[in-house]
A and B are shown apart, each in its own frame.
Chain A
Amino acid sequence: MELKDFIENFAAQFDDTDQSEFTPETEFKALDEWSSLTALSIIAMVDEEYDVALKGDDVKKAETIEDLFNTVKSKL
């Protein structure tokens, strides 16, 4: 899996945040649009795109998008 694709898939779960905001270093939980409802979309995306079941703790522990990417990658 590629980081670039992961970021694209990640960004696609947001409606109001400018796409340029999404980089490997983005601390996604600090985004205005982030909420526990967005978290469900991310879990759904990871399940669909990578067939990986993320736990709540995986999302809580990740600070940046790249952190989450690495978590998903480790579960592949």
Chain B
Amino acid sequence: MAFLEFKNVRIAGVSAGVPKSVFCNLDIKDMSSEYDAASFVETTGVKERRIDERMTTSDLCVPAAEKLIADLSWEKSEIDALIFVSQTTDYYLPATACIVQERLGLSRECYATDVVIGCSGWVYGMSIVASLLANGSIKKALLMAGDAKRHVPTNDPLFGFAGTVTALEYKEGAAGFKFHFGTDGSGYDAIIIPDGGCRNQISDKSFKIEETGEGGRATNRLQTRMKGMDVFSFGITTAPKSIKRLAEHFGFDYLDMDYYVFHQANMKMNNLIVKKLKLDPDKVPSCMYEFGNTSSASIPLTIVTQLKGKCESKPSKFLCCGFGVGLSWGTVVFEAEDMVISDLVEVDEMEDREWV
């Protein structure tokens, strides 16, 4: 059973980068053959999203990392590990983490790799970084998590672009993190981009618009398609279960938290999860109204945009749960103390550089 605990590790700080340009879903004229833009916004809670088709996830993570490293007064040479969680990597190969090592000016003696997973990705990344740091060989590490530019212009009104950075460090005596994870690959096609991988390689067929039979929205085979009802049903049942299992396994009361930060799936789903767990809605911050569903960035983006100036003054207990594409889910509980939260980085300018 995937319960994990890592001690002697703490979050030093969190930052997030988003495109400066704001897209309003209410401006979409042909939302769906079934519903209009206003109904979509009312149900999902996603009114605005940050979109800039120039920007990859790493283009958002790098400036966010620069900001956070400066706010923490860390030396770049001290950062010995970098995990980059994304399903929208810069290239098929190499790993984006390798490219970011050079862009950020990190040491060549740096452990760096990508982790390809979505909505549960920040929690996964936290467990990987925490496990790397827990024995003290590596003292400082960065976790990047997010999604941005897709293969083709993003037409899904749910998803926004964001790249986040979480700085973690070894600290003797720190309480650390407790995790629960789960996976159900039988739902692999509940959220899927069918073409462009090795199984269905890009062909003329990939660009043909298809009715996917749900939601009245047509997509080509390089765009994300979703079985909305299955995902919804999965989210409202699995997230509460994972939280209860974590609390039961480690013997704590899940109601005894200061903040509950959930993956920002959609408002209807998240509200129901809050209701099922009987949580105080005031302790459950949300940012999907302004930023949409930002995949693995959604939990740290919520912390940056909703909790800055609120949670840093005293030790705060956090419970965070990510769930979605995979199907995959993860829950983490931790106490944050003296966590630095950077101002949101709004990215407008692209790095002046010619990429291959």
Contacts and interface: CB of A to CB of B under 8 A. Distances in A.
B237 A40 contact: no
Q: At the interface, is chain A mostly helix, strand, loop or mixed?
A: helix
A35 B39 CA distance: 10
Given A36-B214, A44-B268, A54 B233 contact: yes
B227, B232, B234 interface centre (most CB from chain A within 10 Å):
B232
A36 B237 contact: no
Nearest to A40: B232
Given A56-B227, A59-B229, A36 B272 contact: no
Interface residues of A, number: 15
Contact of A37 (B43, B233, B237): B43
B229 A40 contact: yes
Interface string B206-240: 00000000111000000000011110111011000
A40 B216 contact: no
A7 interface: no
B34 A47 contact: no
B228 A40 contact: yes
A35 B233 CA distance: 16
Contacts of B214: 36, 56
Contacts of B74: none
B237 A56 contact: no
Contacts of B232: 40, 43-44
A44 B236 contact: yes
Interface string B272-315: 10011000000000000000000000000000000000000000
A59 B215 CA distance: 13
A65 B227 CA distance: 21
Contacts of B215: 36
A39 B234 CA distance: 14
A55 B35 contact: no
Given A44-B272, A47-B236, A53-B237, A36 B229 contact: yes
Contact of A56 (B43, B216, B230, B269): B230
A35 B236 contact: no
Contacts of B227: 56
B272 A47 contact: yes
B34 A53 contact: no
A18 to B, nearest CB: 19
B26 to A, nearest CB: 15
30 contacts: A35-B34, A35-B35, A36-B32, A36-B228, A36-B229, A37-B34, A37-B35, A37-B39, A39-B228, A39-B229, A40-B43, A40-B232, A40-B268, A40-B269, A43-B232, A43-B233, A43-B236, A44-B236, A44-B272, A47-B237, A47-B272, A47-B276, A53-B237, A54-B233, A55-B233, A56-B214, A56-B227, A56-B228, A56-B233, A59-B229
Query: What are the nearest 8 A-B pairs in CB distance?
Result: A56-B229, A35-B34, A36-B215, A56-B230, A37-B43, A35-B35, A53-B237, A53-B233
Given A37-B35, A40-B229, 17 more contacts: A35-B34, A36-B32, A37-B34, A37-B40, A37-B43, A39-B228, A40-B268, A43-B232, A44-B232, A44-B236, A44-B268, A44-B272, A47-B233, A53-B237, A54-B229, A56-B228, A56-B233
Interface of B: 32, 34-35, 39-40, 43, 214-216, 227-230, 232-234, 236-237, 268-269, 272, 275-276
Interface of A: 35-37, 39-41, 43-44, 47-48, 53-56, 59
